[in-house]
């Protein structure tokens, strides 16, 4: 679809979301290298277009399960940047109220961000329950669960997609397929037909599915928009969808991973020619929808937002021992 | 006289009442809908409340528990049945790491009002994977409540409490108790967690027993009475939280403790109770603690062998007498 | 294929196997009703053609995991009748040496019968390991794992079939689809396309699959023969197969199940018109391959075998308490 | 002087030696092949033994363990790694009900020579599901061995024993010990199961500690020595079987017991040990038993909070002194 057909705010928002995700991550890694952030971080650099494209059609009332490489997803869904920085920094104003984060566990119920499981892939089944809940309560909410290609090998995938299909639930499974699960290549993790995809798994469950270029934010947006509209409508024959978005990661599995199993040339190729932000920015300019000044202004705004968020997060105190005994039971 | 009903009926009533009370309460699991559960506990619920609220799931235990969590954090009150508590092993991650920790690890921002109903116990040749009593595993978990009634009245009051509680509750039901009758008042009541029941007062020896073993312990106590041995029998009713006050009070009086349970002895539910007493009440003890428990081997299917796995009246009497030697 | 094309011994053996399975089960139920057998029994009456047809192409060296409704499977693979009767009777000469049986756990390593898991469906993953073992050791063995339709909803199905496909293992999954999982109808257990089958699940894994009439022993035999030959040959592109055999059960889920969820007319229809033994017997006679006398003779032999087995089993003693402490560790 | 190597190197040597010894021994799990494991324990194995024997599996823990069982009962000797021991929850049925019971429930007709390598412990902000020490759960299982080394030499000898043993062995490796160095002789050796190591002799108080906590206990013991308190430190090395002889012998001498472990206290590994002592040695005790253990809450990710979860030297000193009050 030609860019001129899109709402200009939407076009700019998509860029803002992706850029915020990218800049958030870059600054987080800086904080990590400065020794201010402990624990694990799985950088989502290179994946930004997927979450931005999906979440553009979601509202606060909609639910989201992110995955371990999921800061982009939370940011796209509207989580407080200050909150997740504070989590990484181990401060009381973090979204977990001081328990910290790293692998996972940021949260924002008001934005529908339901959290994540340390055993990856569990959201395949959790989302089935959320979908049932939406259907039972009769609202027009949607639940989106993000997972990686690797996690999709987990046994629970079958249990989840079978429920979601059987009860026809308003659930969208998104696989951010970056071709790697830690050091394991996608091809060595899944039994597939020659040229087959993970999306093919959905077929026998009668769950509609798509394979989409995960580095093209508008392509993702279009697919997700259709899926989300279908999910919202109780009269649809199929409310559930599996979207496999193809991408690649720019960095190791986690910060600190030397990632010798990755081919530097391949990373370079993705960075140079397939970067979701660069390509989209160029498209916005080439199409004449926005000019350099518009975008530089936005970029400055994003930088300021990030800086502010970090400053606020760093101003928050580190909790003491008592914190670990709070909040176990309601 | 008060009416007498079976534990099955008592549980069924609790489900009916709580489903009526809150329309966001749902019941599901394998065979719980159309036939009302293979042990008949959910009978009549689907007819009354419809298939959206009471239904038969596929055979996929991880998914049953995972979905229950998803429902709970988005406004519903799920009650799921594992057909046999043994299958908690299948959904162990979902129970131990998800139900128990979701609230805590996400900063206390959710309530997780999930009840899992869990038939336990040796009953009729069901063998090594349909006869277990795995509750000790979850005593070691965090963020869960572990409930284990021994009679119809407790079963009803505790199940209603479990359903209303905003936290995940594992509700262990001994299969051999389903048919057992007991007095249950018509009026509504709840039983709080963490309050043990003193089933029989006594002065010489304290017995702590759960589920079916409460009955066995009471039988033993009655026989011991004839030998002039006065036994106090305590049923904790919930293992987490544990009513240490009541247990400790009793031991201070008797100086002797026998713990009885069907689950295997090593690392079983008696271990933590014994350890707490050895930490807190050592000098009140006048005899070594005794555990009368299941042997540390899997449960044979051979119905002729089953009796060797279950604490008997004689086993308990022997243990009590040993503490008095 | 015309009956005349088959080896006569094979044809008779198929009948003998099915009949032995049927008679075994009938007599077992009699023992149950006599109060001599405790515990659970899941009758396989109506399913006999599946195991008979599959196992006809297996040898002792091949491996088999049966399921809870699996006496037919064990018998077809050659287990000692006396051994499994003794298991049910709780005698020391049972295959479990006195631990008994009921739900599962008969065993015969010499016949490749590896046992069964009380949590149904586990053989999906156990067989993956056995397949890997065969491939690694480089033998021409095959591993067959039987499961029900209900168990195929379990999460482990995905883990197992993915391994088996990924490593191209000599494993054959057989689903005895009797349309019911306890009280749950097949259609309410699986999300499928209109008219879809469980066999369709295999497709995205690039695992060859078949749906076959499970009440037609020769149809099953043909499909299995092809699959087993493919499995034995390390040069085959695909050594693994999923076979879904459609059937129905004549009795409740277990003996004692009042089975009110089953429609008596439907059972009657299967018994009357689709019985695997009756139809096959008729075929043998109609084709002129065998005459009434041949078959009556065989039937008598089978009856004698069963009677003998029961007598021997009943002569075996019941173990004492010590037995439960034996054999935990090697 | 004897060479010093890290526990990672010691484990790696054990794997090399056993793989060389028996060509039916295989190593697999997530990331164990090409990169040699995320903790580097299987480094170099794939290069040496090839991809058929050492490989990276899909992320599917049930399948990893289930497949290991299938291999074991058909002639292979599988060594599988769970990337984090926390994931044992995912494969719990396969471990607790399949590995532990397959032999027994099938009449003793199989051997199940499976070794599961299981990184445990709090280390660097890995949070509630990548930091746990779940060994207590398996102390309650049947048919499994539970091994938990505290130093490079034990790690090597015990791992070699585990691989050769015809039974399923759960081998718990504390992540903070991987980098720790210790003396390990060049010559081949095995360490049998069920033999505790007396790490330090003493007369006043017995400490039983495992894994990383052995080091902490020894540090505490050294400091206590300055206060003229003589502590005996015992490392059971295997929790199943447990060397009660050595532990009881020590308690008979000291009359005091402090148990130290990182896993949560309630129903933790200390509970069974305390219970056994309260049953068998009550009158030898001169003070209440003490458990210094992890708190009964999930492990926060915040790296600043981690220290509150791990038994410290001070905690141990305090507990020891309390037994002497
Ligand atoms: C059940 C479980 N198994 C293994 C892990 C360890 N683990 C975390 S992320 C990861 C790789 C995930 O790959 P993928 O799903 O493709 O996501 P990506 O990291 O590529 O975004 C692994 C093995 C885990 N957290 N949970
Ligand atoms: C993991 C697990 N869940 C549930 C059960 C209880 N169960 C035993 S058989 C059965 C129904 C199985 O149906 P299916 O697989 O279709 O086999 P069928 O009985 O029809 O032959 C159920 C629910 C079990 N044994 N294991
Ligand atoms: Mg990936
Ligand atoms: Mg079936």
pLDDT tens profile C141-170: 999 999 999 999 999 999 999 999 999 999
**Per the structure block, which two tokens stand in for C202?**
């295999």
Task: Compute CA distances C255 → A83, B72, B90, C39, C69, whole Å.
Answer: 59, 37, 26, 9, 11
Residues D90, B61: contact at Cβ < 8 Å? no
Atom 17, ligand 2: residue with shortest CA distance: C148
pLDDT at D1: 75
Strands C241-246 and C209-213, by their bridges, are: parallel
Does any CB of chain C come closer than 8 Å to the CB of residue B126?
Answer: yes
pLDDT at C105: 87
DSSP B93: I
Give the ipTM of the model, two decimals please: 0.98
pLDDT at C29: 97
Mean pLDDT, residues A324-329 taken together: 98
Mean pLDDT, residues B110-114 taken together: 98
- Which CATH superfamily, name and number, covers A3-312? Thiamin diphosphate (ThDP)-binding fold, Pyr/PP domains (3.40.50.970)
High-pLDDT (> 70) share of chain C, %: 99
Strands D197-200 and D181-183, by their bridges, are: unpaired
Question: Looking at chain C, how many residues does it have?
Answer: 330
CA distance B61 to B99: 14
Does any CB of chain C come closer than 8 Å to the CB of residue A152?
Answer: no
pLDDT at A103: 67
> Quick one: which of B69, D115, A116, A201 has its CA closest to C157?
A201
CA distance B143 to C239: 47
Q: Kindly report the CATH class assigned to D2-185.
A: alpha beta
Binned at pLDDT 50, 70 and 90, residue A147 comes out as very high
Report domain extents, chain B. Answer: 2-185, 197-324
Choose among C126, C155, C329: nearest Cβ to D70: C126
Chain D residues close to A324, C-beta within 8 Å: 295, 297, 300, 305, 308-309
**Per the structure block, which two tokens stand in for A94?**
């973090």
* CB burial of residue D307 (10 Å; 0-12, 13-18, 19+): exposed
pLDDT at A39: 86
pLDDT at C103: 67
Mean pLDDT, residues D135-151 taken together: 98
Using the predicted structure, report yes or no on whether residue A102 has a pLDDT greater than 80: no
Query: For D202-254, how does the pLDDT look when each residue is reduced to its tens digit (9 = 90+)?
Result: 999 999 999 999 999 999 999 999 999 999 999 999 999 999 999 999 999 99
Q: Indicate whether residue B81 lines ligand 2 (CB < 6 A).
A: no
What is the topology classification, in CATH, of domain B197-324? Rossmann fold (3.40.50)
Mean pLDDT, residues A69-87 taken together: 97
- Which residues are paired to B55 by β-bridges? B28
Backbone angles phi, psi at C266, to 5 degrees: -65, -45
Using the predicted structure, report yes or no on whether residue C101 has a pLDDT greater than 80: no
Does any CB of chain C come closer than 8 Å to the CB of residue A326?
Answer: no
**Per the structure block, which two tokens stand in for C323?**
């037995």
> Quick one: which of A142, A139, A109 has its CA closest to A226?
A142
3-state class (DSSP) for residue C176: strand
On average, the pLDDT of chain D sits at 98
Using the predicted structure, report yes or no on whether residue A1 has a pLDDT greater than 90: no
Q: Which residues, by Cβ under 5 Å, contact ligand 4, an ion?
A: C 148-150, 178, 180-181
Mean pLDDT, residues D137-147 taken together: 98
Residues A71, A25: contact at Cβ < 8 Å? yes
Q: Indicate whether residue C70 lines ligand 2 (CB < 6 A).
A: no
> Quick one: which of D142, D105, D98, B122 has its CA closest to C100?
D105
CA distance D210 to D17: 26
Mean pLDDT, residues B247-267 taken together: 98
Question: Looking at chain D, how many residues does it have?
Answer: 325
Binned at pLDDT 50, 70 and 90, residue C38 comes out as confident
Terminal C-alpha separation, chain B? 42
pLDDT at C1: 76
High-pLDDT (> 70) share of chain D, %: 100
pLDDT at A38: 86
Mean pLDDT, residues C297-313 taken together: 98
Q: Note whether A157 contacts C158, CB cutoff 8 Å.
A: yes
Q: Note whether B98 contacts A122, CB cutoff 8 Å.
A: yes
pLDDT at C2: 87
Residues D231, D207: contact at Cβ < 8 Å? yes
Between C284 and A104, residue with greater pLDDT: C284
Q: Note whether D290 contacts B280, CB cutoff 8 Å.
A: no
Using the predicted structure, report yes or no on whether residue B168 has a pLDDT greater than 80: yes
Binned at pLDDT 50, 70 and 90, residue A100 comes out as confident
Choose among D67, D73, D93: nearest Cβ to C128: D67
Query: For C209-222, how does the pLDDT look when each residue is reduced to its tens digit (9 = 90+)?
Result: 999 999 999 999 99
Q: Note whether D98 contacts C122, CB cutoff 8 Å.
A: yes
Binned at pLDDT 50, 70 and 90, residue C297 comes out as very high
- Which helix (H) or strand (E) is D5 found in, with range? strand D4-6
Chain D residues close to A40, C-beta within 8 Å: 124-126
pTM for the model: 0.98
Q: D174 an active-site residue? A: no
Choose among C105, C323, C328: nearest Cβ to B305: C323
Mean pLDDT, residues A3-13 taken together: 96
Q: Note whether B290 contacts D279, CB cutoff 8 Å.
A: yes
Query: For B237-247, how does the pLDDT look when each residue is reduced to its tens digit (9 = 90+)?
Result: 999 999 999 99
CA B279 to chain D, closest CA, distance in angstroms equals 5
Q: Strands, DSSP E only, in chain C?
A: 63-65, 113-115, 143-148, 171-177, 180-181, 184-185, 209-213, 241-246
Ligand 1 pocket at CB < 6 A: A 42, 68-69, 118-120, 148-151, 176, 178, 180-182, 253; D 30, 59, 61, 83, 87, 90
Report domain extents, chain A. Answer: 3-312
Residues D294, D311: contact at Cβ < 8 Å? yes
């Amino acid at each position: 679809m030609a860019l001129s057909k899109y709402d200009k705010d939407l076009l700019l928002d998509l860029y803002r979301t992706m850029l915020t995700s990218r800049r958030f991550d870059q600054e987080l890694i800086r904080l990590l290298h400065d020794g201010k952030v402990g624990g694990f971080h799985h950088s989502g650099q290179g994946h930004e277009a997927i979450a931005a494209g999906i979440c553009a059609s979601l509202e606060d009332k909609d639910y989201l399960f992110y995955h371990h490489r999921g800061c982009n997803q939370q940011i796209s869904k509207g989580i407080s940047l200050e909150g997740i920085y504070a989590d990484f920094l181990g401060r009381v104003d973090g979204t977990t109220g001081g328990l910290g984060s790293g692998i996972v566990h940021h949260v924002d119920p008001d934005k529908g961000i339901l959290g994540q499981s340390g055993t990856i892939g569990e959201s395949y089944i959790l989302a089935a329950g959320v979908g049932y809940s939406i259907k039972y309560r009769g609202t027009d909410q949607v639940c989106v669960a993000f997972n990686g290609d690797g996690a999709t090998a987990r046994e629970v995938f079958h249990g989840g997609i079978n429920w979601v299909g059987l009860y026809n639930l308003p659930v969208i499974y998104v696989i951010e397929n970056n071709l790697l699960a830690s050091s394991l290549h996608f091809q060595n993790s899944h039994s597939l037909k020659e040229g087959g995809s993970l999306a093919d798994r959905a077929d026998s469950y009668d769950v509609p599915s798509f394979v989409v270029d995960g580095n093209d934010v508008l392509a993702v947006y279009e697919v997700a928009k259709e899926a989300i509209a279908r999910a919202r409508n109780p009269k649809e024959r199929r409310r559930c969808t599996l979207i496999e978005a193809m991408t690649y990661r720019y960095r190791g599995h986690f910060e600190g991973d030397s990632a010798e199993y990755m081919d530097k040339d391949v990373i370079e190729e993705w960075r140079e020619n397939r970067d979701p932000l660069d390509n989209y920015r160029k498209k916005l300019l080439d199409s004449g929808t926005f000019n350099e000044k518009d975008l530089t202004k936005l970029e400055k705004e994003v930088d300021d937002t990030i800086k502010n968020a970090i400053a606020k997060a760093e101003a928050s105190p580190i909790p003491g021992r008592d914190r670990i005994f709070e909040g176990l039971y309601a | 006289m008060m009416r007498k009903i079976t534990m099955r009926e008592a549980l069924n009533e609790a489900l009916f009442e709580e489903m009526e009370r809150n329309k966001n309460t749902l019941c599901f699991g394998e065979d719980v809908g159309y036939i009302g559960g293979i042990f008949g506990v959910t009978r009549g619920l689907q007819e009354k409340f419809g298939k959206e609220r009471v239904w038969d799931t596929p055979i996929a235990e991880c998914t049953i528990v995972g979905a229950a969590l998803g429902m709970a954090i988005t406004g519903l009150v799920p009650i799921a049945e594992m057909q046999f508590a043994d299958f908690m092993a299948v959904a162990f991650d979902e129970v131990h790491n998800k139900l128990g920790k979701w609230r805590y690890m996400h900063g206390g921002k959710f309530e997780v009002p999930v009840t899992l109903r869990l038939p336990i116990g040796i009953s009729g040749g069901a063998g090594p994977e349909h006869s277990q009593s795995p509750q000790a595993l979850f005593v070691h978990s965090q963020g869960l409540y572990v409930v284990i009634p021994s009679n119809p009245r407790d079963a009803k009051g505790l199940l209603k409490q479990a359903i209303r509680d905003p936290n995940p509750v594992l509700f262990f039901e001994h299969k051999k108790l389903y048919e057992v009758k007991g007095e249950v008042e018509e009026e509504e009541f709840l039983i709080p967690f963490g309050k043990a029941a003193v089933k029989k007062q006594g002065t010489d020896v304290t017995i702590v027993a759960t589920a079916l073993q409460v009955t066995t312990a009471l039988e033993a106590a009655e026989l011991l009475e004839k030998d002039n041995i006065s036994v106090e029998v305590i049923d904790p009713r919930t293992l987490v939280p544990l009513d240490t006050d009541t247990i400790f009070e009793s031991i201070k009086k008797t100086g002797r403790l026998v713990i009885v349970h069907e689950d295997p002895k090593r690392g079983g539910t008696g271990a933590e109770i014994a350890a707490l007493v050895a930490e807190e009440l050592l000098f009140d003890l006048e005899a070594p603690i005794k555990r009368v428990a299941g042997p540390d081997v899997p449960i044979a299917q051979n119905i002729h062998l089953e009796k060797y796995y279950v604490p008997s009246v004689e086993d308990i009497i022997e243990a009590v007498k040993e503490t008095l030697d």
